[in-house]
Amino acid sequence: MSVILAVESSCDETSVSIVKNRNILSNVIASQIKLHEQYGGVVPELASRQHLEMVNPCIDKALEDSGLSWNQIDAIAATVTPGLVGSLIVGVTAAKTLAMVHNKPFLGVHHLEGHIYASYLNDPDLEPPFLCLLVSGGHTSLIHVKDSGIYKNIGSTRDDAVGEAFDKVARLLNLPYPGGPVIDKLAKEGNPEAFKLPEGRVSLPNNQGFHPYDSSFSGLKTAMLRLITKLKEEEGDNLPIADLCASFQFTIAKALTKRTIRACLDLNLRKIAVGGGVAANSGLRQHLQQEANKYNLQVFFPPLTLCTDNAAMIACAACDHFNHGFRSSLSLGVASRMNIEEAKKMYYSS
């Protein structure tokens, strides 16, 4: 049993958590949503300044909540990629400093690995191989988790990430940021079949049909814009908001579910873990579960608080790597982008 303290600061949440294998001992999350709301999206410079403000109080609170002392912590981890560079630097510098001061090993974690491990925190029995549907504000990927730390990216979005599509469509509807939770709430009152919208299939070259696992959400966003403009012309500002939200959400749920089930069956896998902020979406959860049941596939959804960014998932990933004897160098730098298949490069065997 190893105990890891991790710092997550890749976007607009400063979070520090202490995890013992798959048990959360503390998970402090300082959200910056209020700060960025007025701009309709994350402002990178404001984000890094706010991380700087919050990182030390979050570390203190996480340690206090866990009831542990520094000598009971085995290693310190931080998200090093992908994310906003200025924001990542704050969390990584804090974590490396703690590692040096307390003489502990340091582990750098890939943020998307964290989203995959969020499902481990909820289920002590989840082990690879499985398929992960990773849906967040920055990513939409289908990842074949072959073994601990061994990933194959088999499908991505060609344009907007799915969370980004939720946020942009919310803006078209004059709804607040972040759009996902608001659309999810309004969709509950609406008819998901009210409007027919495109599921964003990606064509293969030379008329060879459609890519089975890749997705595209810009066409759906444009269709929503056209539909909203047309409805406004016909009926004024009194838009059928709930029906629009329900139809948009259902289209996304169908598009993601179709690709996920197909990939799972093609790869002969039986388990699907869903991660990222959009994994909180009730329409997606319901539709994916219902379709998976038809094929006897098991679906793992993290609890809602672990779907969006948090340090517990980062600590859980680091813990698994630590238990497998991996460590990172203190000279490991941050990176705004890195393919998850490269994540292993951040470690050496101790």
Give which of 102, 226, 97, 109 is closest to 169, Cα–Cα. Answer: 226
Closest CB 156 distance from ligand KG4, rounded Å? 14
* The entry of Zn ion, ligand KG4, none that residue 108 binds, CB within 5 to 8 Å by partner kind: none
User: Is the bond preceding 302 in cis, omega lying within 30 degrees of 0?
Assistant: no
Contact region for ligand KG4 (CB under 6 A) — 39-47, 59-67, 272-280, 288-296?
A: 272-280
Q: What mask, x for binding Zn ion by CB under 5 A, covers residues 135 to 164?
A: -x----------------------------
Residue 19 and residue 63 in contact, taking contact as beta carbons nearer than 8 Å: no
User: Is the bond preceding 105 in cis, omega lying within 30 degrees of 0?
Assistant: no
Contact region for ligand KG4 (CB under 6 A) — 28-36, 159-167, 218-226, 340-348?
A: 159-167
- Give residue for tokens 């309004």: 186
Q: What mask, x for binding ligand KG4 by CB under 6 A, covers residues 10 to 39?
A: -x----------------------------
Contact region for Zn ion (CB under 5 A) — 45-53, 131-139, 246-254, 329-337?
A: 131-139
The DSSP output letter for 41 is: S
Give dist(CA 12, CA 349) in Å, integer: 32
113 binding Zn ion? (CB under 5 A): no
Among 86, 91, 181, 302, which residue sits at the site for ligand KG4 (rule: CB under 6 A)?
Answer: 181
Tokens of 61: 């609170």
Q: What mask, x for binding ligand KG4 by CB under 6 A, covers residues 276 to 295?
A: xxx-xx--------------
Residues belonging to the chain? 350
Among 17, 32, 119, 136, which residue sits at the site for ligand KG4 (rule: CB under 6 A)?
Answer: 136
The interaxial angle of helices 311-323 and 111-122, nearest 10 deg, is 90
How do the residues of the chain divide into helix, strand and coil, expressed in percent and rounded to 5? 50, 20, 30
Please report, in angstroms and rounded to a whole number, the separation of the first and last CA atoms in the chain: 17
Among 86, 91, 114, 138, which residue sits at the site for ligand KG4 (rule: CB under 6 A)?
Answer: 138
Cβ atoms within 10 Å, residue 289: 15
309 binding Zn ion? (CB under 5 A): yes
CB of 20 or CB of 258, closer to ligand KG4? 258
- In one letter, which amino acid is 120? Y
Site for ligand KG4 in 309-348 (CB under 6 A): 309
180 binding ligand KG4? (CB under 6 A): yes
Residue 257 and residue 288 in contact, taking contact as beta carbons nearer than 8 Å: yes
Closest CB 174 distance from Zn ion, rounded Å? 26
Task: Reduce the DSSP state of residue 152 to 3 states and report it.
Answer: strand
166 binding ligand KG4? (CB under 6 A): yes
Contact region for Zn ion (CB under 5 A) — 40-48, 96-104, 130-138, 311-319?
A: 130-138
Give dist(CA 323, CA 274) in Å, integer: 24
CB of 185 or CB of 226, closer to ligand KG4? 185
The interaxial angle of helices 282-294 and 241-266, nearest 10 deg, is 40
**Binding residues for Zn ion (CB under 5 A):** 136, 309
Q: Which residues bind ligand KG4 (CB under 6 A)?
A: 11, 136-138, 163, 166-167, 178-181, 184, 276-278, 280-281, 308-309
